[in-house]
Structure 1
Amino acid sequence: MKKCHWCNEQAAVASVKTGYWELHDGTRAIEIKEIPSMTCMACGMEYHEDEVVEEIEDQLMLIDTKKLSNSMTHEELMGHERFLKRNYFKMS
């Protein structure tokens, strides 16, 4: 178990959840299934850790989002071919 980001209890366990992301160009949102997530057994919060959110955001910046279906798994999203190897616009 890990420390929950919301209640700070040592009660968060790994899970997979569905999430919805608005594309950077604002044209639509997509459903992403089976995203690595956390579920807290103490407070019940379900969330995606920052590293996973950043991974998804970077991938969406680096691929041709016009080719994406409205619904896909996390693995399918991460498997899309990138224009660039990494996000050169990220300043950190």
Structure 2
Amino acid sequence: MNCEWCDESTVEEITCTVYWELPDGTRAIEITETPGMKCSSCGMEYQSEDTIEALEDQLLLIDTSKLGKEVSYESLMAQPKLLKRNYFKF
């Protein structure tokens, strides 16, 4: 697997903490133990497009008012959904 930033093949899978703005724009939350990638060549840490899409969909489909300032990725993804799917994805 190559780094999305520098295209070197020195990427490893990690878990990290990310900060994400809620879809309504009212605040940001800290999401711990989030799957990610880290490149040892350029030092960049980032999430795959699949992880980003999963986070954004989940935050759109749950009651975010019940979230605290910090939540683990696993706990966030286990939150009950208000809708079955993201109907805004075409």
**TM-score scaled by structure 2?**
0.96
Q: What value does the CA root-mean-square deviation take over the aligned residues? A: 0.7
Match of residue 49 from structure 2: 50
Q: State the match for 2:86 in structure 1.
A: 87
- Structure 2 unmatched ranges of 5 or more: none
Matched with 1:34 is 33
Q: Aligned residue pairs: how many?
A: 90
- Gaps (5+ residues) in structure 1? none
Q: Which stretches of structure 1, 4 residues or longer, exceed 2 Å deviation after superposition? A: none
Percent of paired sites with the same residue: 52
CA apart distance, 1:85: 1.6
Q: How does 1:13-24 map to 2 (within 5 A)?
A: 13-24=12-23
* Aligned equivalent of 2:77: 78
Q: Secondary structure at the match of 1:14?
A: strand
